[in-house]
Amino acid sequence: MKLFEIVTAILLISVSVIGFAQDAKDGLDDAFDAIEPRVIEWRRDFHENPELSNREFRTAGKVADHLRSLNIDAVRTGVAHTGVVGTLVGGKPGPVIALRADMDGLPVLEQTGVAFASKARGEFNGQDVPVMHACGHDTHIAMLMGAAEVLANNREQLAGTVIFIFQPAEEGPPAGENGGASMMIQEGVLDGPNPPEAIIGLHAWPGNVGTLLFRSGSFMAAADGLQITVVGRQTHGSSPWLGVDPIYVAGQITTAIQGIPARHLDITKGPAVITIGSIHGGVRGNIIPQEVKMLGTIRTFDVGVREELHAKLRKTVVAIAEANGATATVTIEGNVPVTGNHPDLLRRMMPTLNWAAGSENVNEGRLITGAEDFSFFQERIPGLYLMLGINDPATPLSERPSNHSPMFIADERALIVGVRMLVGFAMDYAEASQD
């Protein structure tokens, strides 16, 4: 055979192999059209019936029933309390990958006014609270259920195995409990004779509807929980000199620690944020209390910056307390690592992003100081984490409710884009991994 003929034959074989996954994906338009109304229906049901972290019993039950109805293998429930995991073996050999959605709501009183608004209540750290899907996890569950159905109904075209991970407690477990991604990993969700080698997650975001936002490398911040306890000496409010006022000390601490990111850290290595979100102390206006508890969060993008911030924070808090005759203890715990996008995996899967949303709707984003425990999965295997826009472009950016707002609501036109992205990742990964 002449050299020209050999090269031509190789090119033809390559084109047919490369085109297989693409052709299979493009043949799913009818499947996407059919599943879209069901995805919207599921989303509205979950939105109307949200459940708090580690308490996603109804949600998990509906997810598990759906996976079993699709003849998905080895459906496991009760993983990390309420998590659900299912395995779909494709009709062709290939790698194992994972698709993940989080399931928990938040202690927020919904104010959207939609017909399917939540009226649910739950118990959070001993308090009776309203519950709302104020972060879009209802859309995440519904999109992954839709992707599972499309893939299960087209399993013969799937090269490899897909593990569906429905995760509880992404927002953090209740006080005194374990949970979330780290607990699922501890319980073996990434283990076994054929563990997944890559994972993808999506998050609803107040971008333009149907857009996908990515960033190579670091994308979302590492998060640390912060607790500061200031102990003074209780006395009558009319005579503060007879005691030590921990409320006054707490005020100085709150102000002073804001200077740490602004004046003591090298911001060229990555931004940092310290926020005090809760201060509790005292019971009456005329009693200076004995103790004040402060709760907050720390966000960083660089390991060295994080360590330097922690050290400076502890030193500053203790010094301010001592200067006022009080004592202070600093507890930093619950670290969630940086969430990002594996650069090589992102490069290889970029054609899939463009296929799912349209290249004009795929954009590179800036750093986000929010955090995600999806990062625990990414400590073990390469992963993609993408933001899915869920707001009407006609609504000005300044008027779009943020995640965790009582007004947060998703434009349902975005949901099918998320389904396409999840299905596309599963269909394309085997071929892309050979690039």
- Give 274-318 pLDDT, tens digit per residue: 999 999 999 999 999 999 999 999 999 998 999 999 999 999 999
How many independent structural domains does the chain possess?
Answer: 2
| Geometric angle at alpha carbon 134, from 298 and 216, rounded to 5° | 55
3-26 vs 415-432: helix crossing angle, rounded to 10: 150
Range of the domain at 233: 222-336
| Geometric angle at alpha carbon 42, from 41 and 48, rounded to 5° | 90
Q: How far apart are CA 197 and CA 92, in angstroms?
A: 17
Cα separation values, 306 from 91, 170, 318, Å: 46, 22, 19
The residues carrying an active-site annotation are 104, 170
Using CA of residue 365, residue 338, residue 169, residue 112, what is the dihedral sign?
A: negative
Q: Which of 288, 317, 336 is the last residue of a domain?
A: 336
The per-residue pLDDT for 77 is 98
User: Which structure tokens are listed for 297?
Assistant: 């969060």
Query: Are 112 and 189 contained in the same domain?
Result: yes
Q: Which of 336, 365, 383 is the last residue of a domain?
A: 336
The per-residue pLDDT for 22 is 55
Q: Which of 301, 336, 371 is the last residue of a domain?
A: 336
**Could you tell me the CATH number of the domain that includes residue 166?**
3.40.630.10
Query: Are 98 and 231 contained in the same domain?
Result: no
Q: How many helices (H) and strands (E) does the chain have?
A: 11, 18
pLDDT values of the chain reduced to their tens digit, one per residue, 435 residues: 454 444 444 344 343 344 445 567 878 999 999 999 999 999 999 999 999 999 999 999 999 999 999 999 899 999 999 999 999 999 999 999 999 999 999 999 999 999 999 999 999 989 999 999 999 999 999 999 999 999 999 999 999 999 999 999 999 999 899 999 999 999 999 999 999 999 999 999 999 999 999 999 999 999 999 999 999 999 999 999 999 999 999 999 999 999 999 999 999 999 999 999 999 999 999 999 999 999 999 999 998 999 999 999 999 999 999 999 999 999 999 789 999 999 999 999 999 999 999 999 999 999 999 999 999 999 999 999 999 999 999 999 999 999 999 999 999 999 999 999 999 999 999 998 887
Q: What's the Rg (C-alpha) of the chain?
A: 25
**Could you tell me the CATH number of the domain that includes residue 317?**
3.30.70.360
Q: Using H for helix, E for strand and C for coil, what is the string for 148-160?
A: HHHHHHCHHHCEE
Query: Are 404 and 423 contained in the same domain?
Result: yes
Query: For residue 405, is it left (φ>0), alpha (ψ between -120 and 50) or beta?
Result: beta
Cα separation values, 90 from 97, 153, 160, 430, Å: 11, 10, 5, 11
In the three-class reduction of DSSP (H, G, I as helix; E, B as strand; rest coil), residue 207 is classed as strand
Query: Are 373 and 393 contained in the same domain?
Result: yes
DSSP for 232-284 reads: -B-EETT-GGGSB-HHHHHHHHHHHTTHHHHHTS-GGG--EEEEEEEEE--SS
Closest CA to 170 of 399, 345, 336: 336
> 233 — phi, psi (to 5°)?
-140, 120
Query: Are 56 and 99 contained in the same domain?
Result: yes
The per-residue pLDDT for 121 is 98
Using CA of residue 214, residue 94, residue 82, residue 382, what is the dihedral sign?
A: negative
Query: Are 321 and 416 contained in the same domain?
Result: no
Query: Are 177 and 211 contained in the same domain?
Result: yes
Residue 4, number of CB atoms within 10 A of its CB = 8
User: Which structure tokens are listed for 59?
Assistant: 């949600």
Query: Are 367 and 405 contained in the same domain?
Result: yes
Query: Are 128 and 33 contained in the same domain?
Result: yes
Query: Are 15 and 114 contained in the same domain?
Result: yes
Cα separation values, 75 from 119, 183, 290, 291, Å: 30, 18, 52, 49
Query: Are 235 and 371 contained in the same domain?
Result: no
Count of residues making up the chain: 435
| Geometric angle at alpha carbon 321, from 320 and 325, rounded to 5° | 120
The per-residue pLDDT for 334 is 76
CA 59 to chain centre: 17
Query: Are 162 and 307 contained in the same domain?
Result: no
DSSP for 312-345 reads: HHHHHHHHHHHHTT-EEEEEEEEEEPPEEE-HHH
